[in-house]
Amino acid sequence: MSYIVFARKWRPKDFDSVLGQEHVTTTLKNAIAQNRVAHAYIFSGPRGVGKTTTARIFAMALNCKVGPAKEPCGTCDSCKEISNGTNLDVIEIDGASNRGIDEVRALRENIKFAPTRGKYKVYIIDEVHMLTEEAFNALLKTLEEPPAHAIFIFATTRPYKVPSTILSRCQRFDFKRLTVNEITGKLKEIVKSEKLEIEEEALYTIARAAEGAMRDAESMLDQLVSFCGKKIDAESATAISGTVGHEVLFDFTEKVINKDTAGILKLVDGVIAGGKDIPQFVNSLVVHFRNILIARASDEPEALIDLPKEMIGRLAVQAKSFSNETLLYILTVLMGAQDSVRRAISQRIPLELAAIRLTRRDDLVSLTSILDRIEQLEKKLGSGAGKPEPKAAPQQHKDENISEPPKAAAKKEHFDVEVEVEAKGFSFERICEVWPNLLREILSKKMSLALFLQPGQPLKLQDSVLTIAFSREHTFHKEALETSGNRKMIESALSNILKHDVRIDMKVVEALEKKVSVEDLLLEERQEETHEVVKSALEIFGGNLKSR
Ligand SMILES: Nc1ncnc2c1ncn2[C@@H]1O[C@H](COP(=O)(O)OP(=O)(O)O)[C@@H](O)[C@H]1O
Ligand SMILES: [Mg+2]
Ligand SMILES: [Zn+2]
């Protein structure tokens, strides 16, 4: 017997076996039941999620001996032929290889003739967006006045490329990617019936790597069988899928927890040396940390994390080592890296820089701890425990019960700017006062921006230009802020708070202690790639290179 690949062998034969597309199959079944079948449909969605399959089942349901029926019988001649692709009334055209006017003309000639066996002639045009303009125009004429027996199903992965004149004549269905659980569910069915032995983790590895496409998952399983035989282990699944195994993700996280920069760079090197796909690795890291965040934040992580229970337990353990804020920071860095590895010439550098950032995150003094401190000060001030230096304010704080206002400190501790802003004027001192409010304002708008601004300090004010100082080790922060969008956001927030137009300028000043950072070493090691490093670093921080 000849071998049939899983994807074909396991193609669903009725609507109920099409997973994850109930919104489509239910509507189609109802249309048949209510005798309200449209003349043209468009099935849009990614590859391998059931568009062609559903189109064929729909054709079967329409032309079945007992049909039009909500479920085709699957056993009559018509059903069998359609399922084998030999039925003369169901015409499949691949738009990608038959792009031209001739095919559409042939279709228009052919469509006039009544169906040979069934009640309908069903034209399934795959990748319809590939047709030429001329072909579309010819098709449009047919769509304007289709014979009663004709039904069109256009499938496309790129619906936005289909002319609106066509779209507007079709009923549209958007097919979704399948969830990891839907995919593992079907894989388990196949495994059982094919009498395979497979580690649970391997199933999840395949399902995740398939990125929502059932066909890809089935093809990977096929490959694994020819690679391992009937006994499939997690390691082989990882190898075939090109993804990085869970152990590596947990290990990476462990190094982030321990702030082990050297170790994490070694791990990254191992991943790359093992030929893993870097963008995919970064994606896996993003998903992993997202899962950790969920394991921390949700009381029902099983519903939200596509992983076996045992693994969710391990995530929860790792989650204990992070604060929510740190996790958000980690995700910000990784998502920045996700972007930049796709664009960078040398993909490993943005990944390495992200890894360094994650293991040296203490350099960013915790923003919440600062905000907490401010809040405490505010409370202290509000309750009268400390007294702000008297200003030309129309209204004073409640003055009773004040003991020795600490003169010098008072100025710095006076943070409640919400009141009487205008009366207080515009000065460098004023800016220092409102600085925490600025941070808070920006934090509420764009978290990453606040993280970059946070290590900066107001240095001087001249002609309405405020200079913000950064220590050398925060050069990346400074440069990320220098991009025009970020700069404008800070300027407008600050101007708003001060009710006075301010522009900003950023400057690096010598740090108190100049320690050699890992970034510096990396820069030295890769002189030839310096430009790339800076660019990737900026990308990690959400900035762009300023054109100078
Ligand atoms: N929603 C689904 N439910 C079950 N199996 C599916 C689904 N989508 C795809 N498959 C599997 O993948 C194969 C290819 O699906 P197909 O319908 O040709 O995808 P598309 O046309 O969207 O690219 C099918 O033969 C089937 O084995
Ligand atoms: Mg298809
Ligand atoms: Zn039938």
Q: Which of 93, 215, 222 to mutate to test the pocket of ligand 1 (most atoms within 8 A of CB)?
A: 215
> What pLDDT is stored for residue 195 in this prediction?
93
Residues 88 and 121: their CA atoms lie apart, in Å, by 8
CA-nearest residue, atom 19 of ligand 1: 48
Q: DSSP string of 19-50?
A: TT-HHHHHHHHHHHHTT---SEEEEE--TTSS
C-alpha closest to that of 109 among 128, 123, 127: 123
Of ligand 1's listed atoms, the one at least distance from the Cα of 10 is 27
> What pLDDT is stored for residue 475 in this prediction?
77
User: Would you say the CB of residue 57 lies under 6 angstroms from ligand 1?
Assistant: no
User: Would you say the CB of residue 188 lies under 6 angstroms from ligand 1?
Assistant: no
CA of residue 125 to ligand 2 center, whole Å: 9
Strands of 171-174's sheet, edge to edge?
Answer: 90-94, 121-126, 150-156, 40-44, 171-174
Of ligand 1's listed atoms, the one at least distance from the Cα of 53 is 17
User: Would you say the CB of residue 47 lies under 6 angstroms from ligand 1?
Assistant: yes
User: Would you say the CB of residue 20 lies under 6 angstroms from ligand 1?
Assistant: yes
User: Would you say the CB of residue 120 lies under 6 angstroms from ligand 1?
Assistant: no
Of ligand 1's listed atoms, the one at least distance from the Cα of 45 is 22
Where do the domains of the chain lie?
6-174, 180-241, 246-360, 367-392+406-516
Domain 6-174, what architecture?
A: 3-Layer(aba) Sandwich (3.40)
Residues 161 and 132: their CA atoms lie apart, in Å, by 11
CA-nearest residue, atom 24 of ligand 1: 11
User: Would you say the CB of residue 534 lies under 6 angstroms from ligand 1?
Assistant: no
C-alpha closest to that of 523 among 326, 353, 401, 289: 353
Of ligand 1's listed atoms, the one at least distance from the Cα of 49 is 8
> Which DSSP category does 177 fall into?
P
| Nearest ligand, measured from the Cα of 77 | 3
One of 2.70.70.10, 1.20.272.10, 3.10.310.10, 3.30.70.890 is the CATH number of 246-360, namely 1.20.272.10
Instruction: Note the pTM of the prediction, 2 decimals.
Output: 0.57
At residue 418's C-alpha, the angle toward residues 416 and 455, to 5°, is: 60
Assign residue 127 a region: left if phi > 0, alpha if psi is -120 to 50, beta otherwise? left
Of ligand 1's listed atoms, the one at least distance from the Cα of 215 is 12
User: Angle, to 10 degrees, between the axis of helix 246-257 and the axis of helix 278-297?
Assistant: 70
| Nearest ligand, measured from the Cα of 63 | 3
User: Would you say the CB of residue 212 lies under 6 angstroms from ligand 1?
Assistant: no
pLDDT in tens, the chain (548 residues): 567 889 999 999 999 999 999 999 999 999 999 999 999 999 999 889 999 999 999 999 999 998 788 889 989 999 999 988 888 899 888 887 777 777 788 888 888 888 888 889 999 999 999 888 888 888 888 888 889 999 999 999 888 889 999 999 999 999 998 999 999 999 999 999 999 999 998 999 899 888 889 999 999 999 899 888 889 998 888 888 877 778 889 999 999 999 998 999 999 998 888 778 898 899 989 999 999 998 988 888 887 887 777 788 999 999 999 988 788 888 888 988 888 888 777 788 889 889 988 988 765 544 555 555 555 665 666 554 444 444 444 444 433 333 433 343 333 333 333 333 333 568 888 888 788 788 878 877 776 777 778 778 888 888 889 988 887 777 778 887 887 788 999 999 999 988 889 999 988 876 533 333 334 434 433 333 334 444 444 444 443 333 33
Residues 153 and 175: their CA atoms lie apart, in Å, by 13
Q: Which of 4, 53, 156, 219 to mutate to test the pocket of ligand 1 (most atoms within 8 A of CB)?
A: 53
Assign residue 288 a region: left if phi > 0, alpha if psi is -120 to 50, beta otherwise? alpha
> Which DSSP category does 56 fall into?
H
User: Would you say the CB of residue 327 lies under 6 angstroms from ligand 1?
Assistant: no
> What pLDDT is stored for residue 428 in this prediction?
83
C-alpha closest to that of 383 among 368, 364, 365, 397: 397
Check if the beta carbon of residue 264 is closer than 8 Å to that of residue 229. no
155 phi, psi to nearest 5 deg: -110, 140
Question: Which residues face 471 on adjacent strands?
Answer: 509
| Nearest ligand, measured from the Cα of 54 | 1
Amino acid at 463: D
Q: Which of 26, 49, 83, 129 to mutate to test the pocket of ligand 1 (most atoms within 8 A of CB)?
A: 49
End-to-end CA distance of the chain: 69
Element (H, E) at 240: helix 234-241
Of ligand 1's listed atoms, the one at least distance from the Cα of 155 is 21
Q: Quick check: do 246-360 and 367-392+406-516 share a fold? A: no
> What pLDDT is stored for residue 511 in this prediction?
52
CA of residue 231 to ligand 1 center, whole Å: 25
Residues 30 and 70: their CA atoms lie apart, in Å, by 7
Residues 191 and 358: their CA atoms lie apart, in Å, by 40
Buried b (16+ CB within 10 A) or exposed e, 330-356: bbbbbbbbbbbbeebeebbbbbbbbbb
CA of residue 77 to ligand 3 center, whole Å: 7
User: Would you say the CB of residue 214 lies under 6 angstroms from ligand 1?
Assistant: yes
Amino acid at 359: T
User: Would you say the CB of residue 56 lies under 6 angstroms from ligand 1?
Assistant: no
Class at the top of the CATH hierarchy for domain 367-392+406-516? alpha beta
Residues 29 and 540: their CA atoms lie apart, in Å, by 49
One of 2.40.50.100, 1.10.8.60, 1.10.10.10, 3.20.20.210 is the CATH number of 180-241, namely 1.10.8.60
User: Would you say the CB of residue 13 lies under 6 angstroms from ligand 1?
Assistant: no
Residues 140 and 165: their CA atoms lie apart, in Å, by 7
User: Would you say the CB of residue 48 lies under 6 angstroms from ligand 1?
Assistant: yes
